[in-house]
Amino acid sequence: MAGNTFGQVFRVTTWGESHGTAIGATIDGCPPGIPLSPEDIQADMDRRRPGTGGAASPRKEPDKVEILSGVFEGYTTGTPLTLIIYNKDAHSKSYSHLKDIFRPGHGDFSYLMKYGIRDHRGGGRASARETAARVAAGAVARKLLAFHEIDVLAYTLSLGGIDAEKLELSDIQENRLFCPDNEAAARMEERIEEVKKQGDSLGGIVGIIADRCPAGLGEPVFNKLDADLAGALMSIGAVKGVEIGAGFAAARMTGSENNDELTPQGFRSNNSGGILAGISNGDPIMARVAVKPIPSIAKPQQTVNMENEPVEIKIGGRHDISAIPRIIPVCEAMVCLTLADHLLRQRAQGWIDEFEEADEEDEHGE
Amino acid sequence: MAGNTFGQVFRVTTWGESHGTAIGATIDGCPPGIPLSPEDIQADMDRRRPGTGGAASPRKEPDKVEILSGVFEGYTTGTPLTLIIYNKDAHSKSYSHLKDIFRPGHGDFSYLMKYGIRDHRGGGRASARETAARVAAGAVARKLLAFHEIDVLAYTLSLGGIDAEKLELSDIQENRLFCPDNEAAARMEERIEEVKKQGDSLGGIVGIIADRCPAGLGEPVFNKLDADLAGALMSIGAVKGVEIGAGFAAARMTGSENNDELTPQGFRSNNSGGILAGISNGDPIMARVAVKPIPSIAKPQQTVNMENEPVEIKIGGRHDISAIPRIIPVCEAMVCLTLADHLLRQRAQGWIDEFEEADEEDEHGE
Amino acid sequence: MAGNTFGQVFRVTTWGESHGTAIGATIDGCPPGIPLSPEDIQADMDRRRPGTGGAASPRKEPDKVEILSGVFEGYTTGTPLTLIIYNKDAHSKSYSHLKDIFRPGHGDFSYLMKYGIRDHRGGGRASARETAARVAAGAVARKLLAFHEIDVLAYTLSLGGIDAEKLELSDIQENRLFCPDNEAAARMEERIEEVKKQGDSLGGIVGIIADRCPAGLGEPVFNKLDADLAGALMSIGAVKGVEIGAGFAAARMTGSENNDELTPQGFRSNNSGGILAGISNGDPIMARVAVKPIPSIAKPQQTVNMENEPVEIKIGGRHDISAIPRIIPVCEAMVCLTLADHLLRQRAQGWIDEFEEADEEDEHGE
Amino acid sequence: MAGNTFGQVFRVTTWGESHGTAIGATIDGCPPGIPLSPEDIQADMDRRRPGTGGAASPRKEPDKVEILSGVFEGYTTGTPLTLIIYNKDAHSKSYSHLKDIFRPGHGDFSYLMKYGIRDHRGGGRASARETAARVAAGAVARKLLAFHEIDVLAYTLSLGGIDAEKLELSDIQENRLFCPDNEAAARMEERIEEVKKQGDSLGGIVGIIADRCPAGLGEPVFNKLDADLAGALMSIGAVKGVEIGAGFAAARMTGSENNDELTPQGFRSNNSGGILAGISNGDPIMARVAVKPIPSIAKPQQTVNMENEPVEIKIGGRHDISAIPRIIPVCEAMVCLTLADHLLRQRAQGWIDEFEEADEEDEHGE
């Protein structure tokens, strides 16, 4: 059943295959009156583009976004926005030898089990290319968050077993891996080069912070803000784990260690990651995601073909060594989409006193 | 906006406050023809009940479930099921001294920020008591999964810093902590006693396995099976992290280490946790969740009252030392609900050949 | 698939069978801060109760509503409201002779085709009794609409072929049929008596007006306000037709006759029924619904049993002659639920200037 | 809040403005394995195209549909389908004189009230052009219905006050108005010519029949099949009324007249329109919709501008005299979309015996 739509009020549907005509996103539920141009979207797209960052493949795609609907004279109109990115540099032929083979770590097998049919070209719908549409939609959400001065930033905390040892936000823009520790970033780059020669790939950990998120977002009980963030982040293909605040470390703490005490000046710590009982508490929202290594590797691997016969596979072609750093704007996009949706959800359902105030405004305003 | 409903086809809405008249769950979308009695539900309820397991408080609640609708002559009818659990042993007065104070680690502050009003009695809607309704609904989902012989089991992997060192499923029923390592369980119990004396509490890690889940469940791209599981599990109040398969360990592997090679006999390993590209691959589904320590502790803590004045708080009363093991049936329930929903979603949208077969059956069957 | 929930933001799920333990409604998405007591709901319940109006059966049900959750100290808390009405006066045995027979005009046959099982007692879920839960939920929606001074009123326009010849709103409270024409109401009562003697039943037409609905409600394109109203009203069992504004009469007009011209003082006419292009225009919202005759009649009818053998059926027992007037509060409830949902939907998505204003308020207010 | 998506399982989102770059539809939830080419869609598009039928304007649009995603080697893959129709013959300038004026009978005023901004060019999103995307999506739904041999057909029952006096299905393809009465069609054409000279426009009534719809579709209680059909049809801009089966005529019948008696050979009549208690009963589904006259007329009308000053307006340009017959494939599309959705919903939730059979098949089939 339909699973390509994200959000309840700010609703995004992505569509398109890696080697089809185009990929895109349709946003239904974006409020009117937001200034929006393709340029607003392009900056995020460029960060996700192949060829960015040391771990990236050399595939060249301009990933230029066009807005097909929903904007009039530079402003959103409240009607659906459709963002489209035409596929240009798609070498379908380089995948034809894989059409009868299940690549380890990919969705080839599970897609066939589910659908009885699959578009094998470059992973089809399961390709990381799909995330370009998320980034485009996320850029629109970011414009909405900007009205509340909410800022969403992701960065590399670990790559190939090398951890950032500090969280220096200014470093993030200074290295190609968006790592908040320039020295660690340099060692990560070395690790990438080493593994590239081995025909292998690397996983890592991405950290995400959402700053100035107002208190009160999140809908108990199933749409807690952390639940929706976890679902959003885990929906990114390469992600295998999500933590909020102290995450798995909290499992080894006592209550007195983990509880964030309150003072008249605010919370004393942020083990909760800015979310209490599923509702934002005004502190920065902090999350971490585990990114698995890119499954496409040149090293020989054992697998089977569609006749269930054993075959050896070496995956050539243009592949990244790690989903990091290209996954970083994707993580940001999913957090932006989640927060934008919850902002609008909370607008729908504020405390009734606000109703009365709103009424008075209406009387004067209309 | 409405956030108390889980699922797309098998839809569960829970309702009720810790110290209100009753809590319950309404299930809309349960297929007809499933044999169902209150007894089917009670077994799971009893595992979640206070007083179960070494870490539990002595609060006595029979948590007897009644079925108000949707069952006729012992079978589900396809109409909504309403399950109700009346609140019996609710000592509201013992909470009245907390009504103007924000308890650290609880939702008191964030609820007030969101709603401008809160039911302070025992946490109201944010109470772990809400999960009793999830367990009741999960038991119905489990009956549906039984038609496919899918089995969902959760267990304690770590508690208070003590890890299970083996995964012996037979041990799980032999100790009060549902730990797959009887010896570790004994040490965990000691740790609980120690911390209880200190007026503190403990976190831990729960593992979950879903066996015999057919390949093909999960809806790309946003409703991937792992995404929906992550959202489902993170929606449990105490959960701060979720891993699927190798999880955060995958972040430190290479592709050749992490990829699960295929052989004619099946997958050689299960780092994917039974889910590839968001779709189940037929292998056991494996997840782990981080459970934070119970925030209600007897140790003195700093906090503020509603006038933002600093106050010291000691939380007495009947509180568990750890959400484990009572959270275990809740984790199972959320996985059962997720799988039941995806089973029905996949029924809605199978490969079109099945349509034709279905048609032929209809001709004969009707 | 789950079909017992209405609304997108103000979401109501009804549950329960005519002769089960109870029926009820769970509302997820009601804003906090609305004063609410069972008495607020009871007035509407009493208008729907059996024994009200000349066309009603003598079945005695107090239909007393209890609120199980979501209200604290007299105000809604933003958490789910559950409203319950226990079934008291249910004579299941009087239906047992019908359990193998398909009653003409009832859902007996289609329910069995759909579910393969059915609760035959009094129509089970298909009973008009289900609408008691709608009326209860609608009363909560009405409280929300009251903050905007929106007023929803339904009345009898036609019954048994006798039409109201005027629309005198003051008459509505003066006769048992809620007809805006006292004289027509008297003739309708005579017609009811006449048909009752014949063991037959009557249909009619209900008119509905929603006054002071602000302009701007309704979501193009599929959730136009008129589309959602039509779906809402047609979901009432006995309804077979819905008109908005001029309705079918518009089909015989020219554009110059049908268009509502604008003047500086407002619209010159209201053929649109207060809805233009699916969005309310500030004029009264006007709808009409066709109500079919009660299918349970004492007159002998031909039908078949579950072995597809012809049988004659005479339906005795306590049955209304017409769904009017008891359907009137049900129609109001569905309109209240639709408008409440759209009010909140519009709050979620107002023009972005309001965002900025809201921001400023937040700064001062928090 | 987002209102541009239709359906629960077979979900269609339409997007695009009359004079933007393109309009289109994204279908999420179409099963895999359906043979689909642009040609399959084009036939329905051509019936909706401007210039078709006597009442149509001469605007020339090829309305050629392209499939951007979701089809691989001629079959649907289970991933989202995006259908796009580029806008070619859009004369935006001819609308610029209308940008400050509210056209009577159009959404100009209500859109501005709702959004605070509007795309005035040709009605923007409120244009009938949006329905081209519905027809494209409906053609895909029709392919799905074909697997069940369900046939959906709409036709003109009344136009400009002239009624079809017979329902001769073979006539429908023989006249430009798709009227089941060739003689009535001829008189309707005369009426169109007459009114065209007067600078006015006409309304009418469309009938719809869905043949061979299996029993069991429709989800009590709010998503009854008739409720969803009514909402679907009323969501077409020009529709102001919907009837199912006997419709408003049922309001004037007695129960013994209206009830459809059952015989071993089937129902004796079809006043129910093939739907009992919201669930299809296997008889043809019959509906009728009231279509208001085209609001754009050359005759002078009174209105106001954005400064609320009175102005006279004459709407020139290329406008149809009646939405009929171009609305006919749109009505069919909405019925196809509704039935396709309910077919899949019912697949999700069939009787549990089918589960067991399905299991056995799986064992052999996989």
Residue pLDDT, tens place only, D120-171: 777 889 999 999 999 999 999 999 999 889 999 999 999 999 999 999 999 9
Distance between C287 CA and the closest CA of chain D, angstroms: 9
Tell me which chain B residues have a C-beta less than 8 angstroms from the C-beta of D11.
none
pLDDT given for residue A60 in this prediction = 60
The alpha carbon of residue A155 is apart from the nearest alpha carbon of chain D, in Å, by 31
Residue D255 has a pLDDT of 98
Contact in structure between D237 and C277 (CB atoms under 8 Å): yes
- Mean pLDDT check: name the lowest of A93-97, B106-110, B295-299, D40-44: A93-97
DSSP-derived letter for residue D299 is: S
Closest of B87, B107, B138, B105 to residue B302, by C-alpha: B105
Rounded Cα gap, residues D152 and D208, in angstroms: 7
C233-237, D50-54, D198-202: least confidently modelled range: D50-54
How near does any CA of chain D get to the CA of C81, in Å? 19
Which residues from A are below 8 Å from B132, CB to CB?
A: none
H or E element, residue C206: strand C204-211
Q: How confident is the model at residue A91 (pLDDT cuts 50, 70, 90)?
A: low
State how far the Cα of C4 lies from the Cα of D224, in Å rounded to an integer.
9
Convert the pLDDT of each residue in D63-74 to its tens digit. 899 999 999 999
Contact D253 C224 (CB under 8 A): no
The residue with tokens 């997840």 is: B287
pLDDT of the residue at C89: 64
Per-residue pLDDT at A118: 80
> Which chain D residues touch B220 with a CB distance below 8 Å?
79
pLDDT tens-digit series, residues B176-186 = 999 999 999 99
Taking CB atoms and an 8 Å limit, are B220 and D79 in contact across chains? Answer: yes
Residue in B9, B66, B77 nearest the CB of C115: B77
In degrees and rounded to multiples of 5, residue A179 shows phi and psi of: -100, 135
> Which residue, among D201, D19, D13, has the nearest Cα to D119 in the 3D structure?
D19
Substitution target in D254, D283, D337 with the highest count of C β-carbons within 10 Å is D254
Q: Give the Cα separation of A191 and A185 in Å (integer).
A: 10
pLDDT at D286: 98
Count how many Cα atoms sit within 13 Å of the Cα of residue C147 in the half-sphere of its side chain. 25
- Please report the pLDDT score of residue D352 as a whole number: 53
Q: C250-299 pLDDT, tens per residue?
A: 999 999 999 999 999 999 999 999 999 999 999 999 999 999 999 999 99
pLDDT at position B312 is 96
Distance, CA of B138 to CA of B129 (rounded, Å): 15
> Three-state SS for C196?
helix
Whether D203 sits inside 8 A of C111 (CB atoms) is no
CB distance C121 to C18 below 8 Å: yes
CA B97 → CA B93, B127, B305, C266, distances in Å?
8, 17, 11, 57
Average pLDDT (D299-323) is 92
Helix A38-48 to helix A327-348 angle (10° resolution) is 140
- Between chains, do C348 and A9 touch, taking CB under 8 Å as contact? yes
pLDDT, average across residues B296-310: 96
Strand ranges (E), chain B: 5-6, 11-16, 22-28, 66-69, 71-72, 75-76, 81-86, 151-159, 162-163, 204-211, 239-244, 262-263, 266-267, 275-276, 279-280, 285-291, 301-304, 310-313
Kind and range of the H or E run holding B139: helix B130-146
More confident residue, A359 or B136: B136
pLDDT band at A354 (very low <50, low <70, confident <90, very high): very low
Which of A219, A346, A347, A360 should be substituted to probe chain C, the one whose Cβ sees the most C Cβ atoms within 10 Å? A347
d(CA D311, CA C167): 33
Q: What is the mean pLDDT of residues C230-240?
A: 98
So what's the pLDDT on residue A95? 64
Residues 6+ positions from A11 with CB-CB distance below 8 Å: A5, A27, A28, A29, A341, D2, D5
Return phi, psi of residue D22, to 5°. Answer: -160, 165
Name chain A contacts of B232, Cβ cutoff 8 Å.
222, 227
- Asked if B255 contacts A294 with a C-beta cutoff of 8 angstroms, the reply is yes
Q: Report the distance separating Cα D244 and Cα D279, nearest Å.
A: 12
**D82–A24 C-beta distance less than 8 A:** yes
Residues of C in contact with A2 (CB under 8 A): none
Q: Which residues lie below 8 Å from residue D268, measured CB to CB, with a gap of 6+?
A: C302, D260, D261, D262
Q: Which residues contact C146 (CB under 8 A, 6 or more apart)?
A: none
Q: Tell me the nearest-neighbour CA distance from B73 into chain A, angstroms.
A: 31
Residue type, A104: P
The β-bridge partners of B152 are: B210
Neighbours of D160 (CB within 10 A): 26
Where residue D54 falls among pLDDT bands split at 50, 70, 90? low
Chain B neighbours, 3+ Cβ pairs < 8 A: A, C, D
Flag whether pLDDT at D97 surpasses 90: no
Query: D22: which strand partners?
Result: D86
Using 50, 70 and 90 to split pLDDT, how confident is the model at D39? very high
**pLDDT tens by residue, A57-81:** 555 657 899 999 999 999 999 999 9
Q: Are B348 and C1 in contact (CB under 8 A)?
A: yes
Share above pLDDT 90 across residues of chain B, in percent, rounded to a whole number: 81
ipTM over 0.85: yes
* Residues A251-289: b if buried by 16+ CB within 10 A, e if exposed: bbbbbbbbbbbbeeeebeebbbbbbbbbbbbbbbbbbbb
Min Cα–Cα distance to chain A from B326, Å: 15
Backbone angles phi, psi at D218, to 5 degrees: 120, 140
Q: With cut-offs at 50, 70 and 90, classify the pLDDT of residue D92.
A: low
Cα separation, D179 vs D182, whole angstroms: 7
Query: Which residues in C190-216 are b (16+ Cβ under 10 Å) and which e?
Result: ebbeebbeebbbbbbbbbbbbeebbbb
Among A49, D59, D104, CA closest to C270: D104
> What's the pLDDT at B119?
81
CA distances from C269 to D27, D202, D302 (A): 39, 18, 12
Q: Which of B118-132, B222-236, D319-333 is predicted least confidently?
A: B118-132
Greater confidence (C83 vs A43) lies with C83
List phi, psi (to 5°) of B304.
Answer: -130, 160
Which candidate, D203, D287, D201, places its Cα nearest to that of D238?
D203
Asked, as a colleague might, if the bond just before D62 is cis with ω within 30 of 0, I would say: no
Contact B290 A248 (CB under 8 A): yes
Check C3 against B344: CB less than 8 A apart: no
Query: Which two structure tokens, joined as six digits, stand for B160?
Result: 């208070």
Does A8 contact B14 at a Cβ distance shorter than 8 Å?
Answer: no
- Assess whether pLDDT exceeds 70 at residue D60: no
Cβ distance C332 to C138 under 8 Å? yes
CB contact under 8 A, A14 and D80: yes
Judge whether residue B261 has pLDDT over 70. Answer: yes
Question: Helix C352-365 and helix A352-365: axis angle, to 10°?
Answer: 130
Cα(B233)–Cα(A227) distance, integer angstroms: 7
Q: Length of chain B, please? A: 366
pLDDT more than 90, % of chain A = 81
The residue that leads in pLDDT, B55 or C312, is C312
- Spatial contact of B303 and B313, defined as CB atoms under 8 Å apart: yes
Which pair of tokens denotes residue A358?
A: 């709103």
Subunit contact A105:B281, Cβ cutoff 8 A: no
Smallest Cβ–Cβ distance between A248 and the set B248, B295, B346 belongs to B248
Q: What is the pLDDT of residue C356?
A: 44
Q: What percent of chain C has pLDDT over 70?
A: 90
List domains and CATH numbers for chain A: 5-363 (3.60.150.10)
Sorting pLDDT into bands at 50, 70 and 90, what band is A98? confident
Give mean pLDDT, residues C59-70.
84
What's chain B's average pLDDT? 91
State the pLDDT at residue D364. 37
Instruction: Specify the pLDDT at position C271.
Output: 98
Rounded to the nearest 5 degrees, what angle is found at the Cα of A28, between the Cα atoms of A22 and A32? 115
Q: Helices marked H in chain C — which ranges?
A: 38-48, 108-115, 130-146, 182-197, 225-234, 255-258, 327-348, 352-365
Of D15, D66, D70, the CB nearest to A82: D15
Please answer whether residues D71 and D81 qualify as being in contact, where contact means their C-beta atoms are separated by less than 8 angstroms: yes
CB atoms within 10 A of CB C27: 30
Joined tokens for residue D269: 């009549």
- Cα three-residue angle A295-A296-A300, rounded to 5 degrees: 105
Highest mean pLDDT among C151-165, D42-56, D310-324: C151-165
| Sheet strands (E) in A97-251 | 151-159, 162-163, 204-211, 239-244
| pLDDT higher than threshold 50 for residue C363 | no
Rounded CA gap, B273 and B283, in Å?
8
Task: Write out pLDDT tens, residues A161-212.
Answer: 999 999 999 999 999 999 999 999 999 999 999 999 999 999 999 999 999 9
Other CB atoms closer than 10 Å to residue D279's CB: what's the count? 27
Model confidence over C316-325: pLDDT tens digits?
776 789 999 9
Q: What is the pLDDT of residue A93?
A: 62
| Residue of chain B with shortest Cα separation from C344 | B1
Instruction: Quote the CA–CA distance of B252 and B263 in Å, as a whole number.
Output: 25
Minimum-distance CB partner of A29 among D1, D75, D81 = D1
pLDDT of residue C165: 97
Phi, psi of C353 (to 5 degrees): -55, -35
Give C140's contacts in chain A (Cβ within 8 Å).
none
C239-249 pLDDT, tens digit per residue, is 999 999 999 99
If one counts every other C-beta atom within 10 angstroms of the C-beta of residue B299, the result is: 15
